[in-house]
Amino acid sequence: MIKVENIHKSFGDAHVLKGISATFDSGKTNLIIGQSGSGKTVFLKCLLGLFEPEQGNINYNERMYSSLSTAEKRDLRQEMGMVFQGSALFDSMTVEDNVMFPLNMFTKQSRAEKQERVDFVLHRVNLVDAHKKYPSEISGGMQKRVAIARAIVMNPSYLFCDEPNSGLDPKTAILIDTLIQEITKEYNITTVINTHDMNSVMEIGEKIIFLKDGLKEWEGTNKEIFKTDNTAVTDFVYSSELFKKVRQMYIEERN
């Protein structure tokens, strides 16, 4: 679990995060949504420990980040897995070597132990014959699955995903969403996803934080988001014709 208490983050005169508090539960897919410039990326980077807030606290299973020593912060970061927006795979490395990279960097396991772990996570993300391929030789959806395998190879307590469906077709995006949710529940990970994909909100939004202008404007579930009367949320959610129709169907059913 991650508990955020009244965090503020500024860059010069720009006050980006303005007292956000939230709780992200283990075993659930926690989503951060909001328009561009709402503070989503800065918030995610604070959770990752890349930015330190000027005020407030972030607790990871009762460990307050600001109170940790440098060594303790380094150990905590090794409990974090990250899926980047563009997958961020090393083009010159095979799939197998990309996934093994964190193990080479942070563990003293034998080659056989690392290979066993790599084989396990690649099988878990349904990539059993891609070990020796390079990123350029596989599809965007497969690259994303490699990125997920690399993110979980160290058996993290926390999984962060930045726009994991970016650039994917709708069918593949659903498969990635489902995979992330399955892994979250299977390993009881605290998963936080930064997204603008409303399909993800509908499919896996077990906990949703909506940010606007650096403030937490709303929070709830994917079922509750279609019931809210918060105009900032409804303007964001129903910006497309599809979701306007969903909203209208809900209103008609309620009446």
Range of the domain at 114: 90-155
The domain total for the chain is 2
C-alpha 163/C-alpha 144 separation (Å) is 11
Domain boundary among 109, 130, 155: 155
> Is there a contact between 194 and 41 (Cβ–Cβ < 8 Å)?
yes
Same domain, 215 and 103: no
Is 8 part of any domain? yes
- Residue 6: pLDDT band (50, 70, 90) is very high
Longest Cα–Cα distance of the chain, Å, equals 64
Nearest C-alpha neighbor of 88 from the set 167, 182, 178, 186: 167
pLDDT at 243 over 80: no
Has residue 251 got a pLDDT over 90? no
Same domain, yes or no, for 8 and 75? yes
- 115-134 per-position pLDDT tens digit: 999 999 999 999 988 999 99
181 in Cβ contact with 195 (< 8 Å)? no
Tell me the C-alpha distance between 58 and 67, whole Å. Answer: 10
Q: Are 12 and 64 part of one and the same domain?
A: yes
Task: Give me the mean pLDDT over the 70-89 stretch.
Answer: 91
Report d(CA 197, CA 101) in Å as an integer.
29
Average pLDDT taken over every residue of the chain:
91
Q: What is the pLDDT of residues 141-175, one digit of tens each?
A: 999 999 999 999 999 999 999 999 888 888 999 99
- In a domain, residue 239? The reply is no
167 in any annotated domain: yes
119 and 165 both lie in a single domain: no
Statement to judge: residues 112 and 170 lie in one domain: no
Per-residue pLDDT tens over the stretch 182-219? 999 999 999 999 998 888 888 899 999 999 999 999 99
- 14 in any annotated domain: yes
Q: Per the domain annotation, does 95 fall within a domain?
A: yes
Question: Is position 189 within any domain?
Answer: yes
- What would the mean pLDDT of 220-233 be, rounded to a whole number? 88
Regarding whether 7 and 96 lie in a shared domain, the answer is no
Strand (E) or helix (H) holding 101: helix 95-106
Do 212 and 96 share a domain, yes or no? no
State the Cα–Cα distance between residues 222 and 244, nearest whole angstrom.
15
Among 139, 155, 171, the domain-final residue is: 155
Q: pLDDT (tens digit, 9 = 90+) per residue, 167-179?
A: 888 899 999 999 9
- Residue 84 within a domain: no
Q: How confident is the model at residue 75 (pLDDT cuts 50, 70, 90)?
A: very high
Among 155, 177, 201, give the residue marking a domain's end.
155
What is the predicted pLDDT for the residue at 85?
A: 85
| In the predicted structure, residue 241 carries a pLDDT above the cut 60 | no
Tell me what pLDDT residue 120 has.
95
Q: What pLDDT score does 86 carry?
A: 82
Residue 27, number of CB atoms within 10 A of its CB: 14
Domain check: are 200 and 95 in the same one?
Answer: no
Q: What is the CATH number of the domain that holds 205?
A: 3.40.50.300
pLDDT tier for residue 16 given thresholds of 50, 70 and 90:
very high
Phi and psi for 224 in degrees, rounded to 5?
A: -75, -25
pLDDT of residue 196: 86
The stretches of 161-240 forming alpha helices (DSSP H) are 170-186, 198-204, 231-237
